[in-house]
Amino acid sequence: MQMTERPSRPPVHIRAVGRALPANFVDQESLTAALREAWGGVHFNPERLEELHRSVQVEGRYVALPLWAYRELTTFARRNEAWIRAAVDLGEMAIRDALGQAGLSPADVDHIVFVTTTGVATPSIDARLVNRLGFRREIRRTPLFGLGCVGGAAGLARASDLLAAVPGQVAVVLSVELCSLTLQLADLSIANIIASGLFGDGAAAVVLTGEGRDPGGSGSGPAIAATGSAFYPDTERVMGWDVVDSGFKVVLSAQVPELVRQNVRDDVDEFLAMSGHDRASIRHWVAHTGGPKVLQAFESALELPEAALARSWKSLKEVGNLSSASVLFVLADLLASGEPAEGDLGLLMAMGPGFCSELVLLQW
C-alpha cells in the first residue's frame, strides 16, 4: 500500500484540546436493560444483547438526551433536529474550553474545520457557532462529513495543511459526534446491537497555530511534524451508513480488526521511515477507541508494549467510542498527563469508513 505523505512544511503546533460531554450519563447495565425492554418483544435472543454489550468493555456512556426521550425520535427529521440542537451546544462548550486553555478568543481564529458523521445541517454547525461564539466575519469554514472514526485525525491533518500554507494563523478543529441519535430500534442486526453498546456522544476541539504565531497562553503542545493517509480499495462496505427512512443505519463489518491487522504495520513503518524514524522512536501512541478487537489489532500488529494504548483502553471504558472525537479525547488525556518531554515523538492514528487510515506524527 502506497502511503501519501504531506511534504516538508513550516511547523504547526497543537496548543490545546477541549472536550465536552452531554449531561446524561448512563452506565452500561442500565442502557442494556433499556434496550432489552425495547427489543424484548421481538428480539430472538435477549441474552445475546447482554453478551455483546459486555464484550465491548464499555462501562458507561454520555448520551445527548435522557433515555425516555429516544422513544420519541420516530423519524429522521426528529433525530436530526435533536442532533443540531445538541451539536451546537456541545460544540460551543468544547471550543470555549480549548480556546480558554490556549489563552485565545474567538476573534483570534482564522479557520474552523468541523468534523461529524452523525447528523446533517445546512448551514453547517460551524456556521451556527460563528454566530453564537462571535468569530470574525472573515473566518474560513471547512465542514467535513462522513469520515467516521478517522475524522478527528483527518481534521487535524487538513487543518495543519491550511496553517502550513498560511503561517501565523489560528485554526480550530471541532469534532461533534452524537452516535446515540443514530440508533435504529427497528434494526436487530448484530452490527446495530454492537453499535448500541459501543458508541457514545461527545465533542472535542483542538486549537492549532501556524509558524510565527505567538500562542498567547502559558502552555504549548506538540508540533505536527508530518501527516499521512492510506486508502484501502474496494472496502466501502466495511463501515459506514445506509441512509434509510428513519435515519442512518449502521454498516459495521467483522472485517475491521483484520483490516487493521493486515495494514497498519506496513502503513506506520512506511510513514515513519519518510521522516527518518521507526516504531522504536515513538514514545506516545494515540489510537482511536475502535473497540477491544481494534485496539488488540493495533497492539499485535505494531508489537506495542502492554501500556502503550492504556489511555485508549481507559477512554473506551469510560465514555465508549466517540467516533471522530475519540482519538482527540485520547490526545487530550495525553496532554493533560504532563508526561511528554521535549524531544519526544508521538503517533496519532485512526481508521474509518472508506476504509482508510490517517496518521499524524507529533513532536514535542
Q: pLDDT tens digits for 12-66?
A: 999 999 999 999 999 999 999 888 888 876 655 777 888 888 989 999 999 999 9
Q: pLDDT tens digits for 166-217?
A: 889 999 999 999 999 999 888 888 888 899 899 999 999 999 999 877 654 4
C-alpha 257/C-alpha 265 separation (Å) is: 13
Residue, of 328 and 4, whose pLDDT is higher? 328
The verdict on residue 344 lying in a domain is: yes
Examine the pLDDT at 1 and tell me if it is beyond 50: no
Q: pLDDT tens digits for 278-333?
A: 999 999 999 999 999 999 999 999 999 989 999 999 999 999 999 999 999 999 99
Residues 299, 191, single domain; the answer is no
Residues 125, 226, single domain; the answer is no
Q: pLDDT tens digits for 261-278?
A: 999 999 999 999 999 999
- CATH number of the domain at 117, please: 3.40.47.10
C-alpha 201/C-alpha 199 separation (Å) is: 7
**Would you state the torsion angle of the CA atoms of residues 261, 325, 148, 35, taken in this order, to the nearest 10 degrees?**
90
Of 14, 129, 149, 282, which residue is the catalytic one? 149
Q: Is 149 a catalytic residue?
A: yes
Last residue of a domain, one of 189, 210, 231: 210
Dihedral over Cα of 115, 119, 121, 125: its sign: negative
CB 358 within 8 A of CB 349: yes
Q: Give the pLDDT score at 201.
A: 98
Last residue of a domain, one of 188, 210, 232: 210
What mean pLDDT do residues 84-107 have?
Answer: 97
pLDDT confidence tier of residue 112, bands split at 50, 70 and 90:
very high
Q: Give the pLDDT score at 3.
A: 52
Pairing state between β 247-252 and 111-116:
unpaired
Last residue of a domain, one of 165, 183, 210: 210
Q: Give the pLDDT score at 215.
A: 54
Residues 6+ apart with CB under 8 A from 67: 24, 26, 30, 31, 34
Q: pLDDT tens digits for 233-267?
A: 999 999 889 999 888 999 888 889 999 999 999 99
Strand partners, 352: 356
